[in-house]
Each structure stands twice: as C-alpha cells, then as structure tokens.
Amino acid sequence: MNSVAVINETGNIFFVKEDSIVRTIWGKADTVLFIFAGSAAEFALNKAVDWLYFTGNLPADPLGRLFSTVSYAREIVFAKREDALKAIDKIAAIHAGVETARGASIPDWAYRDVLFMLIDYSIRSFEILERKLSNIEKEEVFNVFYRIGDRMGLKELPATFKAWLKMRDEHLNENLIAGNYTKDLFVQYKKHLGLIRYAVLTEVQKLIVPKRVKTLLQYGNIKTIMPLLAAYKFSRKLKLDWFLKSLLLPEKYKQQVKNLDYK
C-alpha cells in the first residue's frame, strides 16, 4: 500500500493525516461507542475467543477488555508516527507473550478478524450516526488499518478495499460460531452493564452488525432503538448528548468515554 504518514506545518509526522476521515470517525465518543458495541457482539462469536479467555481478562472484565482494544486503535489514529509504531509493536508483543504462555500460536485469521472488525464498524458507525461515506473515504479507512496490520506482520491481508469486502464476507461465514463462550460473554455483559444498559447495547448491535452476526445471535427486527437514536441525534443539537450518555454508561467508564471526544 502506498498510504503514508503525513508531515503537518509544525513538522510533526502523524500516522494518520490530520484531515483524514478516520480521525473524524475516531474523534467522537458516539462513533467509538458504536464500534465498541459491534465488536462486543462479534467478539463473542469468534471461533478464537478462547484465546481471550486464556488470560482470564475477558470474562473478568469484558467491557474493560474490549474497551482497551478500541482505545489502542484510537491512540494509534491520533498519534505521531513513531508513537503509533511503538503502540502497534506493543500490541504485537503482548500477543506474542500470550502465545508463549499458552505454547501455541494465535491463528492468522483471528488477527485479521479483529482488524476487519475495526474497519467495518468504523464505516458502519459513522454512516448510522452521521452520513454515508464515499468510496474514497471507505478506502481511506481500509488503508489506515491495513498499515496497522502490515506493521504487526499479519499475513494474507487483502491489498485493496474491494478485496477486503470479499474477504470480510468469507471471514464472517467461516470464523464465527454461537457457542458456550458466546452465551457466557453475553451473561457477563448483562452482569457488568445491568438490565437497561444491556438492553440498549443489544438494540445498538441489532442496528450495526452484519446479517451473519444477527443470524447467529438470533436477533430479530430493530425495534426500540430507532426512536431512541433519533432522539439522541436531536439531543446533540441541544448539547444534551453527554447527559444522556452519562445515564447509560457505567460509572467506571464515564471519564474514559468522555476522553474519547478528540479536542
């Protein structure tokens, strides 16, 4: 890929150019939370989710574990090039340590799945909350995450956005299954969120996840989320959106989510 870091007028070299649509997407808590919601659904179905259970971190704190994954991605999007590369290398080192501890290798397709989720839900989240993206903007989202995957040394990455669309469908059909880990994770989600927040999470998931994920989770038609979403979008115009978010977020994550709005 020929997507490269950009030097701004102050001489800083950023991993993602400052006017990139990727920064717009990842610079708002709203879209990041939707990315989180979609990833939470798909993580629970992935055939390699047992790797996340191996350390014990996921079942003990599923929201924190998923939030850390999303936060790492966001950190890279806004970092200077050298800092971004260090962050990517740190992620690779953490996974290598888990592989050593377990005495086995995380499947290549599992690494790609996580990268593909971030690409897909970045696009889906923005289009639900803001507007449709152009093909050029979608390609830019793909290019940024391609560079992250390439730096991590991931194998068999698709070279173009068009190729990614095909591989994404293949991965969704081949690498997801509704099993015991799926049931357990959703039990943990409900436990950590409470009934009302859990209900909101699943309604958002119905709205954002691909058809294959909906089928495996036995999600029916979208119901209550559409009027709620319309009301939330209106609240942003009145600057009341953070009040609504504060009601829906667990106390321990409120400040973290607030920090997601890029200043």
pLDDT digits (tens, 9 = 90+) for 15-31: 999 999 999 999 988 89
pLDDT in tens, 66-100: 777 777 888 899 999 999 999 999 989 988 888 88
Q: Six-digit token pair at 77?
A: 């999007």
pLDDT of 228: 78
At 59, the pLDDT band (50, 70, 90 cuts) reads: low
pLDDT of 58: 65
pLDDT in tens, 105-158: 888 999 999 999 999 999 999 999 999 999 999 999 999 999 999 999 999 999
pLDDT of 193: 87
Residue 259 lies in a domain: no
pLDDT of 169: 98
The number of C-alpha atoms within 13 Å of 25 and in the hemisphere containing its C-beta is: 31
| Distance separating alpha carbons of residues 254 and 245, to the nearest angstrom | 8
Nearest to 15 by CA among 73, 70, 71, 93: 73
pLDDT of 230: 83
pLDDT of 234: 79
Structural domain count, the chain: 1
For residue 112, count other CB atoms closer than 10 A to its CB. 21
Q: Which residue has the higher pLDDT, 38 or 61?
A: 38
Residue 52 lies in a domain: yes
Q: Which residues pair with 80 in a beta bridge?
A: 14
Is the pLDDT confidence value at 161 over 60?
A: yes
Task: Answer whether 0.85 is exceeded by the pTM.
Answer: yes
Structural domain of residue 148, as residue ranges? 6-251
pLDDT in tens, 179-231: 999 999 999 899 988 898 898 899 999 999 999 999 999 998 776 778 878 87
Count the residues in the chain.
Answer: 263
pLDDT of 122: 97
Residue with tokens 């194998």, as numbered in its chain: 155
| Distance separating alpha carbons of residues 69 and 91, to the nearest angstrom | 9
Residue 57 lies in a domain: yes
Amino acid at 72: Y
Residue 258 lies in a domain: no
At 249, the pLDDT band (50, 70, 90 cuts) reads: low
Q: Which residue has the higher pLDDT, 50 or 46?
A: 46
Residue 74 lies in a domain: yes
At 57, the pLDDT band (50, 70, 90 cuts) reads: low
